[in-house]
Amino acid sequence: MKTNVGGIDRMLRIVVGAALVIWALMGGPVWAWIGIVPLATGLIGFCPLYPLIGVNTCARDKQ
């Protein structure tokens, strides 16, 4: 797996994902557990959807 999530994209995924998971833990709606997906992809640095649609936000791989 090559890193394809970088910089601002990665930070946003972690913040939004963590916020959704915390909301779910505090009694929010069940759908808030979807925050696990952006949190995991932000921490890992790889989004499996990006290669399928031809996106790469990681600056070091764009050269």
Per DSSP, 43 falls in state: H
Q: What is the pLDDT of residue 2?
A: 87
Which H or E element spans position 13? Answer: helix 7-25
- Cβ pair 40, 14 in contact under 8 A: no
63 pLDDT higher than 80: no
Calpha distance 13→52 (Å, rounded)? 19
Tens of pLDDT, residue by residue over 3-47, are: 999 999 999 999 999 999 999 999 999 999 999 999 999 999 999
Domain regions of the chain by residue span: 7-55
Q: What is the pLDDT of residue 62?
A: 56
Q: What is the pLDDT of residue 59?
A: 79
Calpha distance 28→22 (Å, rounded)? 8
pTM for the whole structure: 0.87
